[in-house]
Structure 1
Amino acid sequence: MNIAGAMTRVLPIEDSSQIGHARRTAQRLAEQHGFDDGDAGRVALVTTELASNLLKHASHGELHLRVLPREAGFGIEIIAVDRAQGFDLHACLADGFSTGGTQGIGLGAVARQAEVFDVHADSRGAVLLARLYPHSDRRPDLRYGVSQHALHDDPSCGDTWHLAWHQGCLSALVIDGLGHGEEAERSARAGESAFARTPFAAPVLLMEDMHREMLGSRGGAVAFAQFNPKRDSLSFAGIGNIGACLIGAGKSRGLASHPGIVGAQYRKAQPFDYAHVNGHLLIMYSDGLQSRWNLQDYPGLVHRHPAVIAAVLHRDFCRGRDDVTVLVVALEAVHG
């Protein structure tokens, strides 16, 4: 199973008139991706409540929408992001707690409407995640999260990412094309195309394939990680300034990359191997994200869904000077 990179769709929620637009946008997205009327209605209901909750307790915030490709079909992800203080999580989770202008179903009921619901809230703000799948889709949620945004909301993004699963193994890619805009996107997409053909090839050969595909373009920074749960190991190969780390059991290990530019010039991309990684988090990010962050500064965040972690890191550490991608994956066997 392959999941190609796509940007996060951002809907600002600053006044009540934007709640209806958010509801219609999310419902239409669900209908376009195979949700029947009942399931699309659940998406609309959850979107309305999350948007209303933003206005109620934060006065403003954002909804982040993403389509979740599956082996057969799709899911819809909705993340509410704010920077408010004093979010009363227990009150909001109570059934019947009205967020104003809604049925007052409360986030507790929203949690039951969604197949996946998770929250992180502290003095910096709150991130609430809802993932919905058609009721006919009983397959487990894939525990990954991504937050990707183009500089100045440009329709082109010089970053891309890709995930592939095969017989329980995972291969994860992040590329940052040099600069931003259409030319950077063209370079990144060329590398992603080569990766998607053979995501589990030997790392040195895979990097060479991507290099050949990116020749003649701007080139870019490239990193990918291949996880084998049976061996309980991960191989990481990187060229350029894609940041990456493994987090687990109270410690974090940085993953080393080599200097160079894929599509231009680099030395041999010798991979680094890491053992005993089952149950760890893999976090990869482009240099649009500051590197001076530590999940230990966010009590409990490491145990939240990877999509929540990605959204929190983007909210608090986006540089605002470049395209940005944050990819978070729970390393566990998945049959896909």
Structure 2
Amino acid sequence: MNISGSMTQVLLIEDSSQIGHARRTAQQLAEQHGFDERDAGRVALVATELASNVLKHASHGEMHLRVLPRANGFGIELLAIDRAQGFDLQACMADGFSTGGTQGIGLGSISRQTEVFDVYADARGAVLLARFYPRTDREPDMRFGISQHSLHNDPACGDVWHLAYDNGSVSALIIDGLGHGEEAERAGRAGAQTFALMPFAEPVMLMEDMHRDMIGTRGGAVAFARFDARRDSLTFAGVGNIGASLINADKSRGLASHPGIVGVQYRKARPFDYAHVNGHLLIMYSDGLQSRWNLQDYPGLVHRHPAVIASVLHRDFCRGRDDVTVLVVALEAAHG
């Protein structure tokens, strides 16, 4: 299964009129992607409650929306993100509890409307995740998270990402086209189209093919990682300044890239192999994200859903001077 990259849709939540806009936008997105009236209604209800929660609890924040390609259709992802001073998560999970002092249906009740619900909250703010799949979709949740945003909300994004799943293997790509805007996007998409044709090809050959097809563009930084559940190993190849780490509850390992610009000039990109990675997180990110983050500074975050982790990192470490992409993949043998 191939998942072609797309940007995160961002809705500001700063006044009460934007709650209705969030509800309508989320419901329409669900209806456009095959949700029936009942399932789209669940999406609308939760969008309303999450947006209301942001406004009551934090006075302002954002809702991030994403369509999730599935084997037989689509899912919808909502993330409510704020920078408030934290809240009592256990109390908020109780039905009837509202952080704003009004009668709410409670995060516990919201969670029962979703297929996937997760929360991370501390003194820096909160991120609440809701994923929805049609009732006819019995496939398990794909445990990845992506947060991608262009500089100044430009419709063109020089960062490009791609994911491929195949019988227990996962292959993940990020390209950062040189600069930003349409020409950077053209460079990134040229490489991603090549990657999508053969995401599990031999790494040196794959990088060379991407280089060939990016010639004539600005070129860019490229990194891809392949997880093989049967071998319990990860192979990583990178050229340029795409950051990448393997993380579990105990330690973090940075993944090494080679210097150069794919599509312009680079030396042969020797791949690196990492053993015993089942249960780890793979985190890859463009240089629009600061590199000084450490999940150990966020107690318990490593155990949250990858979509929550990606959103926390984007919220707290986006440079604000470039396109930014954060991709988090849970490396699990059950992906197959």
Show the counterpart of 2:115. Answer: 115
Aligned to 1:265: 265
Residue deviations 1:91-138 (CA, integer Å, cap 9, x gap): 221101246699721111111101000000000000000001111111
Please name the residue that 1:320 is paired with. Answer: 320
Is the counterpart of residue 189 in structure 1 residue 189 in structure 2? yes
In the TM superposition, what whole-angstrom CA distance separates every residue of 1:255-311 from its partner, at most 9, and x where no partner exists?
A: 000000000000001000000000000000000000001000000000000000000
Q: Which deviates more, 125-134 or 102-111? A: 102-111
1:203–1:237 contact (8 Å) kept in structure 2: yes
1:288 aligned partner, one-letter code: G
Partners of 2:239 and 2:38 lie apart in 1 by: 47
Three-state SS of the structure 2 residue aligned to 1:134 is coil
Q: Following the alignment from structure 1 to structure 2, what is the Cα–Cα distance between the partners of residues 169 and 213?
A: 25
Cα distance in 2 between the residues matched to 1:31 and 1:54: 24
Match of 1:57 in 2: 57
Query: Which amino acid is the alignment partner of residue 132 of structure 1?
Result: F
Aligned residue for 1:29?
29
Alpha-carbon distance in 2 for matches of 1:160, 1:103: 43
Give the match for residue 96 of structure 1. 96
- Judge conservation of contact 1:165–1:334 (CA < 8 Å) in 2: no
Q: Which runs of 5+ in 2 are unaligned?
A: none
- Cα gap change, 1:52 to 1:257, in 2 (>3 Å): same
**Mean Cα deviation higher: 280-289 or 81-90:** 81-90
Question: Pairwise CA RMSD of aligned residues?
Answer: 1.2
Amino acid at match of 1:19: I
Q: What is residue 40 of structure 2 aligned with on the other side? A: 40
Residues 302-321 of structure 1: matches in 2 within 5 Å? Answer: 302-321=302-321
User: Could you tell me how far 1:333 is from its partner in structure 2?
Assistant: 2.6
Identity over the aligned pairs, expressed in percent? 81
Rounded to whole Å, the distance in 2 between the matches of 1:313 and 1:278 is: 22
Distance 2:315 2:216 in 1: 35
1:133-176 per-position Cα deviation (integer Å, ceiling 9, x unaligned): 11111110000000000000000000010000111101000000
Structure 1 segment 149-298 matched on structure 2, within 5 A: 149-298=149-298
TM-score by length of 1: 0.98
SS in 2 for 1:113: coil
State the Cα deviation string for residues 51-89 of structure 1 (Å, max 9, x = none): 000011101100000000001100000000000003221
Counterpart secondary structure, 1:156: coil
1:61-76 equivalence runs, <5 A: 61-76=61-76
**Which ranges of structure 1 fall in alignment gaps of 5 or more residues?**
none
Counterpart check, 1:11 vs 2:11: yes
Per-residue CA shift, 1:230-273, capped at 9, x if unaligned? 11110000000000000014100000000000000000010000
Number of residues paired by the alignment?
336
User: TM-score when scaled to structure 2?
Assistant: 0.98
Counterpart of 2:10 in structure 1: which amino acid?
A: V
